[in-house]
Amino acid sequence: MTCRREPVVTIDGPAGAGKSTAAREVARRLGFRLVDTGALYRALAWALTQAGVSPEDERGVGALLTRTAVEMAGGSVLVNGRDVTAEIRTPEIALTTSRLTALKAVRDKMTPLQRSFAAGGGVVLEGRDTGSVVCPDAEVKVYLDADLAERARRRREELAARGLPADYEGVKAEVALRDRQDMERELAPLRKPPGAVTIDSTALSPEAVVLRILDAVEQARCCTRS
């Protein structure tokens, strides 16, 4: 019996749907590599902010890309060797990231990098376009969603846990804005990838979401082994 490589798992969906929690736990249980594609884009947004370059300044962004190296080392995200993992998780960086990902030059830099991470299989990619653009041939594609009110509640709790208390209505408006930016951009908009398993996490526990994804992975393993 010949076994093929382990499957590639992609988990896409809007902000606050629970992608990070699910992806991290699925990768841990399977022993797969975790690639948080959103963190890679956030790292570029952080570099942009540090350099004082506007996302609307495409020439400035292009120049920044040539001198910016983004890497993943274990659970950390590095920009030119500096660990920025904690610094990229702010609402301001999130909004800048959404604007930045609409630029072709940014996509041209990041998409090949993400594909290289997935080339050997045995990887979980989490983001907005991992199943629709980065790895459309992934063996397991998941679209994780939840209603806006629940996603805003989760986002507010996440901020509070990091010592960043925020008004619920303000957070809800921020999440709704991110949705519009991600879904309406011309380049690689957020959408359900063809063939993806849709999971609505609104009323599900994180464990229930993880088990559904693991079940999809096991089915894919059965289909790709002969």
Q: Note the pLDDT tens digit of each residue in 34-51.
A: 999 989 999 999 999 999
Residue 38's nearest CA partner among 59, 53, 17 is 17
Closest-CA residue to 51 (of 63, 37, 69, 34) = 63
Mean pLDDT computed over every residue of the chain: 91
Q: Specify the DSSP element, H or E, that contains 161.
A: helix 148-161
Mean pLDDT within 100-115: 90
- So where are the chain's domains? 8-220
Closest alpha carbon to 79 in 107, 51, 108: 51
* Residues 67-89, mean pLDDT to the nearest whole number: 91
Q: Per CATH, which fold does 8-220 belong to?
A: Rossmann fold (3.40.50)
Model pTM greater than 0.85? yes
Give the Å distances, CA to CA, from 200 to 19, 148, 176.
11, 12, 17
Asked if the model's pLDDT at residue 121 lies above 60, the reply is yes
